[in-house]
C-alpha cells in the first residue's frame, strides 16, 4: 500500500475509530486486503478540525443511517449483516473502450491502495476526519478507457431486496444513484474506498466499494457500488430526484449557500456530543486550492 502526506491533517486530527465505524452519512471496500493500520494520508491544506471527543462504541453503533436497511438509527447495525459482499462485481459501461463486468478482486489487483486522511462533511452540518484506504477513481476509469465524448460518470448502488429490507419502502427511488462531472471524477482527491483504519469497511458503511469525494457533502459518496457508467449527459441522482429544491447535482460544501431548512455556515464536529462547540465550515470542505478551479465562472448558488 502506498502512503502519501499532503496538507495539515495528521494522526491526532483523525476522528476516533469508534466514532467512525458504523457511522453513515444520513443521505447518503473487499476491502482492506492486507492493508496496514498506519495513519498516513493525503489531505487538503486548510485548518483541521480540533477537539474531537470520542463517543462511546454503543452510541455510534446504534446511530447510523443506510436507508436500504431501514430509516431508524439502529436499523443498519441490526440488518446490514445480511448483505453479501463476496463475491462482488462492478459493471463498467457506457462511453468506455473496455466495457464489462469486472470482479472486484481483479480490479484491486491493478490498483495502488493508499491510506488518506480526509475531512468528511455531512449535509446535516456535522463533520469528522476519516482515514480511508482505497484507490483513485481516475485509475479505474483509465483502466476502462474513457472515450473522448464522455462528460459525466454515473454510479449505482446494489439493489438486493432479499438482503436490503429498507428498499421495500419508497423512501427513495431505488436503486440509489449518483453522478460526477468527468473532471470531478478524474480529480486526484476522488477516491474509491475499500477500507477504513486499515480494516474492511463494515457493511453499514458501504462495503465493499464506495465513493469518497471530500469536497462534497457526504450523500454524494455513494455506497456499495455495482455500476459505473460513462455518459455525455448529466446523470440523475437520488436525492435530487427526491427533492431538487434541497439537493442539487453538485452538492459542494459551501458555507455561503444554506440548505433551505438550515444554515451551512457552521458544523458540529463529531466527538463532543450533541452540544459540541460548532466551528466555521470551510469552502469546499477545506479543499479549495485543489478543486476551486473546476468551478471558475459558475454561479455556485444556482449550481448547488
For residues 57 and 202, the answer to whether their CB atoms sit within 8 Å is: no
26 C-beta neighbours (distance < 10 Å), count: 16
101 compared with 271, residue with greater pLDDT: 101
Q: Which secondary-structure segment (H or E) carries 226?
A: strand 225-231
Better-predicted residue by pLDDT, 59 or 67: 67
Residue 27 clears pLDDT 70, i.e. is over it:
no
Q: Is 67 annotated as a binding residue?
A: yes
- Report CA torsion sign: 94, 95, 98, 103: negative
CB under 8 Å to 183, separation ≥6 — which residues? 294
**Does 222 appear as a known binding residue?**
yes
Residue 302 is assigned to a structural domain of this protein: no
| Whole-number pLDDT of residue 230 | 98
Tell whether 223 is in a known binding site. yes
3-state secondary structure of 104: helix
Does residue 300 lie in a domain region? no
Domain count, the chain: 1
Residue 240 three-state SS: helix
Whether residue 160 is annotated as binding a ligand: the answer is no
Structural domain of 289: 2-295
- pLDDT (tens digit per residue) in 115-133: 888 888 989 898 877 778 8
Alpha-carbon span 298 to 23, nearest angstrom: 33
pLDDT tops 50 at residue 47: no
Say whether 199 counts as a known binding-site residue.
no
% of the chain exceeding 90 in pLDDT: 61
The model carries a pTM of 0.83
Does residue 187 lie within any of the structural domains? yes
The verdict on residue 303 lying in a domain is no
**Domain assignment of residue 114, yes or no:** yes
187 marked ligand binding residue: no
Asked if residue 34 has pLDDT above 60, the reply is no
Give the residue from 175, 219, 203, 228 showing the smallest Cα distance to 29.
203
43-76 as b/e, with b when 16 or more CB fall inside 10 Å? bbebebbeebeebeeeebbebbbbbbbbeeeebb
Q: Is there a binding annotation on residue 157?
A: yes
* Confidence band for 272, pLDDT divided at 50, 70 and 90: low
Indicate whether 74 pLDDT > 60.
Answer: yes
- For residue 117, say whether it is annotated as part of any ligand binding site: no
62 labeled binding residue: no
CATH number, residue 148: 3.90.420.10
Q: What is the mean pLDDT of the chain?
A: 82
Q: Considering the domain boundaries, does residue 211 fall inside one?
A: yes
**pLDDT recorded at residue 8:** 52
Specify the pLDDT at position 242. 97
**In the prediction, which pLDDT does 76 show?**
73
Tens digit of pLDDT for each residue in 171-189? 999 999 999 999 999 999 9
Average pLDDT over residues 274-294: 92
Q: Residue 205 annotated as binding?
A: yes
d(CA 210, CA 183): 19
Amino acid at each position: 500500500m502506498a502512503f502519501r502526506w499532503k496538507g495539515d491533517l495528521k494522526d491526532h486530527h483523525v476522528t476516533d475509530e469508534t466514532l467512525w465505524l458504523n457511522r453513515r452519512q444520513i443521505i447518503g471496500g473487499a476491502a482492506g486486503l492486507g492493508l496496514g493500520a498506519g495513519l498516513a494520508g493525503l489531505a487538503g491544506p486548510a485548518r483541521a478540525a480540533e477537539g474531537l471527543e470520542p463517543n462511546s462504541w454503543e452510541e455510534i453503533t446504534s446511530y447510523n443511517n443506510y436507508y436500504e436497511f431501514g430509516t431508524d438509527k439502529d436499523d443498519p447495525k441490526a440488518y446490514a449483516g445480511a448483505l453479501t459482499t463476496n463475491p462482488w462485481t462492478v459493471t463498467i459501461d457506457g462511453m468506455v473502450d473496455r466495457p464489462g463486468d469486472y470482479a472486484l478482486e481483479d480490479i484491486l489487483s491493478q490498483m495502488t491502495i493508499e491510506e488518506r486522511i480526509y475531512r468528511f462533511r455531512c449535509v446535516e452540518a456535522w463533520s469528522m476526519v476519516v482515514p480511508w484506504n482505497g484507490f483513485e477513481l481516475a485509475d479505474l476509469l483509465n483502466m476502462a478507457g474513457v472515450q473522448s465524448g464522455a462528460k459525466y460518470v454515473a454510479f449505482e448502488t446494489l439493489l438486493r431486496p432479499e438482503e436490503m429490507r429498507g428498499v421495500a419502502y419508497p423512501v427513495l427511488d431505488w436503486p440509489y444513484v449518483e453522478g460526477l462531472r468527468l473532471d470531478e471524477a478524474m480529480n486526484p482527491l476522488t477516491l474509491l474506498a475499500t477500507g477504513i483504519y486499515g480494516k474492511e469497511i463494515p457493511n453499514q458503511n458501504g462495503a465493499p466499494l464506495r465513493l469518497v469525494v471530500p469536497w462534497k457533502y457526504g450523500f454524494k459518496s455513494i455506497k456499495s457500488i455495482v455500476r459505473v457508467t460513462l455518459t455525455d449527459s448529466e446523470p440523475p441522482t437520488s436525492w435530487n430526484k427526491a427533492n431538487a429544491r434541497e439537493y442539487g447535482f453538485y452538492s459542494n460544501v459551501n458555507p455561503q449557500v444554506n440548505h433551505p431548512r438550515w444554515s451551512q455556515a457552521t458544523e458540529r464536529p463529531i466527538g463532543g456530543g450533541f452540544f459540541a462547540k460548532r466551528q466555521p465550515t470551510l469552502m469546499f470542505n477545506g479543499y479549495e486550492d485543489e478543486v476551486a478551479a473546476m468551478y471558475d465562472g459558475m454561479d455556485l448558488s444556482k449550481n448547488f
